[in-house]
């Protein structure tokens, strides 16, 4: 029996509906139905979607593959409210109702403020989003309220202090970011536990990056457990933590799903020896040379081309470490969406004069352009 949190017993593998299999621009719904059938047949029950996933096609896929095919009390599902797109507080109701309608639901079990951080938290206050969620709960249109989070631990502490009504937190946790300066998985997890909030883990495989590790690291895992897949180490690391509602895995194919359920059906936490294997993998990761950017952003303000220099460097580092071309290309698109691309650099040198790490920014941006803009 799974541990019980918020009155729910949920097995520790949640079906993330963010990266569904596609045929062209449409969700491959027949494959999704097959995946759902295997997943449900093994006793798993948690489905995670969001208003913005696949432009609404993810919530519709939940409706087609799950809601219309299984009794409502045999699964639980979550969706999320995207505050960043909202123009006014009235839109919250329209978006929530659309999320219900797309999935043919009358209620969501879990409903989250999506991607909270310092700025989104301010907008939530301005729009009365917390009260909106409490009202939905009182009306029986959601059963549990919480938020997903992407910012520093002190911001999380602040939100949880101000909003004890949040019942759970969804955090980005994986072994590579457990101690990293940028994501600070461990520190965020500890803040949530300090506030006695159960945690839903997202991105345990770091958007697929921990499946495409350098060969040297893959060998470490294969030597320890030849039968186990490389991503299984990442999912089991996350699922071994205390106080979890579940661990989400964005599943894109039946093959991936079969692999996940094979070791999560009768989940066993990592042993001390297995944790040692992960520690070795992390040590190797740390030894791979990367751009020593700390993300301080001192270079950004003076850039006439508004190039997100630390964002581009973080993308390059992830690409060197995990060799995940598709993930890195997406990330490059994201970090250059609102500012200049690496190739827009005018070589004025304003940035280099401010970099405390003395990084050769101009040269490194040329490399980024060669990798991501060809
Ligand atoms: S050298 Fe390039 S990146 Fe640096 S401030 Fe000038 S335009 Fe921006
Ligand atoms: S100033 Fe240097 S270390 Fe700081 S964000 Fe820019 S490139 Fe990175």
Distance 314 CA to ligand 2 centre (A): 10
Distance 285 CA to ligand 2 centre (A): 21
The mean pLDDT value of the chain amounts to 94
- How confident is the model over 344-358, as a mean pLDDT? 92
pLDDT, tens digit (0-9, with 9 covering 90-100), for 278-329: 999 999 988 988 898 878 888 998 999 999 999 999 999 989 888 889 889 9
Kindly report the pTM of this predicted structure: 0.85
pLDDT, tens digit (0-9, with 9 covering 90-100), for 172-210: 999 988 988 778 899 999 999 999 999 999 999 988 888
Distance 345 CA to ligand 1 centre (A): 5
Any ligand 1 atom below 6 A from CB of 345: yes
Q: Give the residue extent of every domain in the chain.
A: 4-280, 309-372
Any ligand 1 atom below 6 A from CB of 169: no
For 4-280, which CATH class? alpha beta
**First vs last C-alpha separation in the chain:** 51
In ligand 1, the atom with minimum distance to the C-alpha of 309 is: 3
Residue 1 has pLDDT above 70, yes or no: no
Any ligand 1 atom below 6 A from CB of 346: yes
Distance 342 CA to ligand 1 centre (A): 9
Question: Which residues make beta-bridge pairs with 16?
Answer: 48, 250
Q: What is the pLDDT of residue 356?
A: 82
Nearest residue to 61 (alpha-carbon basis) of 95, 98, 33: 33
What Å distances lie between residue 49 and 82, 162, 234, 329, CA to CA?
12, 26, 21, 23
d(CA 281, CA 274): 11
Q: Report the phi/psi class of residue 294: left, alpha or beta, with left for phi > 0 and alpha for psi in -120 to 50.
A: alpha
Residue 63 has pLDDT above 90, yes or no: yes
Residue environment code for 183-208, b if the CB has 16+ CB neighbours within 10 A, otherwise e: bbbeebbebbeebebbbbbbbbbbbb
Q: What is the pLDDT of residue 292?
A: 85
Residue 216 has pLDDT above 70, yes or no: yes
Question: What does R_g of the chain's alpha carbons equal in angstroms?
Answer: 21
Q: What is the pLDDT of residue 2?
A: 61
In ligand 2, the atom with minimum distance to the C-alpha of 297 is: 5
Any ligand 2 atom below 6 A from CB of 361: yes
Ligand minimally distant from the alpha carbon of residue 302? 1
């Amino acid at each position: 029996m799974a541990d019980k949190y918020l009155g729910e017993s949920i097995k520790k593998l949640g079906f993330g509906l963010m990266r569904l299999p596609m045929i062209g621009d449409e969700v491959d719904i027949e494959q999704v139905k097959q995946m759902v059938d295997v997943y449900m047949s093994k006793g798993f029950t948690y489905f995670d979607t969001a208003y913005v996933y696949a432009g609404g096609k993810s919530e519709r896929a939940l409706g087609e593959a799950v809601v219309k095919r299984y009794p409502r009390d045999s699964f639980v599902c979550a969706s999320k409210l995207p505050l960043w797109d909202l123009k006014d507080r009235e839109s919250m109701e329209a978006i929530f109702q659309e999320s219900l309608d797309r999935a043919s639901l009358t209620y969501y079990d879990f409903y989250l403020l999506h991607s909270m951080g310092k700025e989104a938290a301010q907008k939530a206050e301005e729009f009365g989003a917390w009260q909106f969620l409490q009202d939905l709960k009182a009306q029986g249109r959601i059963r549990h309220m919480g938020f997903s989070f992407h910012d520093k631990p002190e911001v999380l502490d602040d939100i949880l202090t101000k909003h004890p009504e949040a019942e759970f937190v969804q955090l980005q946790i994986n072994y590579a970011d457990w101690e990293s300066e940028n994501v600070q998985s461990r520190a965020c997890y500890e803040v949530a536990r300090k506030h006695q909030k159960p945690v839903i883990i997202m991105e345990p495989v770091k958007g697929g990056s921990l499946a495409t590790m350098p060969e040297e690291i893959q060998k470490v895992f294969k030597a320890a457990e030849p039968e186990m897949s490389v991503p299984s180490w990442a999912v089991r690391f996350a699922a071994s933590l205390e106080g979890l509602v579940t661990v989400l895995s964005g599943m894109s194919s039946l093959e991936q799903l079969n692999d996940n359920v094979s070791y999560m059906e009768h989940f066993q936490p990592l042993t001390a020896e297995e944790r040692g294997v992960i520690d070795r993998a992390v040590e190797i990761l740390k030894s791979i040379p990367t751009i020593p950017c700390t993300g301080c952003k001192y270079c950004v303000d003076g850039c006439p081309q508004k190039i997100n220099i630390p964002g581009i460097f973080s993308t390059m580092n992830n690409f060197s470490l995990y060799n995940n071309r598709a993930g890195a290309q997406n990330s490059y698109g994201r970090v250059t969406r609102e500012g200049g691309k690496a190739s827009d650099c005018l070589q004025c040198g304003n940035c280099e004069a401010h970099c405390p790490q003395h990084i050769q920014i101009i040269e490194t941006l040329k490399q980024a352009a060669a990798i991501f803009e060809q």
